[in-house]
Structure 1
């Protein structure tokens, strides 16, 4: 039975992935921050964690860890001239420094596993420029760089990959799709004419954690309805 640490598993993609892993018989140590979750299975063990705290405790983890998934993120869309440097720093602290802090904390546990894997998350906006996306694209651009650098440094022991998604139906994206008009307009921007669902992203993450992806590392996978590569 594989054992995973899933940071940010109280809603959206993180919660869906935790459920999928548990359904397949894998042990998940999941964290929440604002939304406390009561697990319906012993295979999902929830713990409170604020990745922005100066010191964090992961004493609840076993000695060996097969997978790490870091989900915390934000979507702040504003014109560049209305974003303060402190806003960029706050995003960076959550999405990049938080990931670094967790990876460094669990690295000894990952090294003890036979085929460990790390999965991070980015956005289609890094490689495909969109107006008002400078704040999120800056932090997620750093995540993509971190993915490739860590994949090189950790090879051949630990695989590191990243999923770059487009708009997905999660609580984080709710303000962008909270009316039928907004939902349809955003769906039409994608070649597949629909927005993503948590399952779409969770399935890819589960694959990357598994040995079916055992020869894949250092990659940025665009799960984005065709947004990053197609014009139709």
Structure 2
């Protein structure tokens, strides 16, 4: 049976790959993002242009019923702590946490109409692993992990809430970190599996968490990070 999903930030990277997977399975997908990107080539997708960091989501953008909601926008601003002022931390919180809060609040009524619906958020391996120059993003994504657990408790049993914490993934957001063979090799070698993650791999995990196959999973921070958070080789 066709389901309806809302993907915020679904026009690039992991969000685009997830949107493609959901649509190929015959589902309806509503995408909210700043640009259309490559969505025009995907059948069964409704797109609304909006900058979630600056705008509220109009009620008419939200389908009447939702089986799942995924919030994909994020940032990779790697800077020394001494160069970050409070405004920089607020910017990180705005795109990573507040945008997720606005999206969930906008879609909650529609999600509650379908018991067993699912919310998927994104964190980073840098929350659990101390990494230099990650203080801004790690602080914001740490808040996302806290939100995940709190909402999983508050919305159970009707809505499941989980969070994926990837390591560096080959997406447009990471271009400047992977824009040479040397950088790509160095990034791969930092992981026990000796590779950089792909958008398709992370999207497949998000797709699983949305599906009935994950019906007994909620409140989890799932590390898809090539072993970085737990393995030493």
Normalising by the residue count of structure 2, what TM-score does the alignment of the two structures yield?
A: 0.97
- Residue 42 of structure 1 and its aligned partner are, at CA, apart by 3.5
Residue aligned with 1:39, SS: helix
2:80 aligned with 1:82, yes or no? no
- Residue 105 of structure 1 and its aligned partner are, at CA, apart by 1.1
Residues 8 and 32 in structure 1, CA contact (< 8 A), matched pair in contact too: yes
Partner of 1:131: 132
Residue aligned with 2:226, SS: coil
Partner of 1:222: 223
Residue aligned with 2:126, SS: coil
Residues 37 and 46 in structure 1, CA contact (< 8 A), matched pair in contact too: no
Residue aligned with 1:30, SS: strand
CA gap of 1:53–1:78, structure 2 versus 1, over 3 A, is closer
Deviates more, 1:40-49 or 1:13-22: 40-49
2:196 aligned with 1:164, yes or no? no
Residue aligned with 1:222, SS: strand
Residue aligned with 2:197, SS: coil
Moved over 3 A (4+): 34-38
- Residue 114 of structure 1 and its aligned partner are, at CA, apart by 3.0
Deviation string 1:63-85 (CA, Å, 9 cap, x unpaired) is 11000000000000011101111
- Residue 34 of structure 1 and its aligned partner are, at CA, apart by 4.1
Partner of 1:175: 176
Q: Which runs of 5+ in 1 are unaligned?
A: none
Distance 1:152 1:120 in 2: 15
2:21 aligned with 1:30, yes or no? no
CA gap of 1:124–1:59, structure 2 versus 1, over 3 A, is same
Partner of 1:202: 203
Q: Which runs of 5+ in 2 are unaligned?
A: none
CA gap of 1:194–1:38, structure 2 versus 1, over 3 A, is closer
Residues 12 and 37 in structure 2, CA contact (< 8 A), matched pair in contact too: no
Partner of 1:39: 40
Distance 2:31 2:162 in 1: 19
Residues 77 and 132 in structure 1, CA contact (< 8 A), matched pair in contact too: yes
Distance 2:59 2:42 in 1: 21
